[in-house]
Amino acid sequence: MNKTFKSIAAGLALAAVAAASLAHESHSAKPKSAAALAPEQKAWGIAGKAGAVKRTIDIAMADDMTFSPSVIEVREGDTIRLRLKNRGKELHELVLGTTAEIEAHAAMMKKFPGMEHDDPWMVHVPAGKTGDMVWTFNRAGDFDFACLVKDHYELGMAGRIRVLPAGQS
């Protein structure tokens, strides 16, 4: 019976690791294949190319769980460089998405706190450092950004990006 219990426990552990890996395969430190490097269209846009950047928006991240500014307006079709400056002593990140996607990702981060990010809509910024994200906002609408490190999101570290339709003045 003891041997059976160990076999079952090992099988469950292996299944949990496999499920976590599949659910968050793009968060590993492993190099991606050429096919995986193709930009992925998301509801909030697509990874941009540095040569297409129309403007740079500086966003400060702080240990009081704030982004400054916390509300940004861009135009549909614009490629923007988000320059993230971590002015704190803690690790922070910026994750773009819809409210539902961010909340689902936050729940996943609670289950797997050591998870690494390497998706183009997520940037980790160590304390005192600067990080960049180049993003093409090719869909109009209101989208969110948040820091999902530890309990930062629950403490209010979030913001909003309003993407105005291309033709709207």
Q: What is the pTM of this model?
A: 0.75
C-beta of residue 105 within 8 angstroms of C-beta of residue 95: yes
Q: Could you state, in order of their start, the residue ranges of all structural domains in the chain?
A: 44-164
Query: Using one digit for the tens of pLDDT, what is the confidence trace for 59-71?
Result: 999 999 999 999 9
- For residue 163, the number of C-alpha atoms closer than 13 Å in the C-beta half-sphere is 23
| CATH number of this structure's domain 44-164 | 2.60.40.420
Return the pLDDT at 114. Answer: 75
Q: Which residues of the chain have pLDDT under 50?
A: 4-5, 8-35
- Assign 71 to helix, strand or coil: strand
Return the pLDDT at 3. Answer: 57
Return the pLDDT at 6. Answer: 53
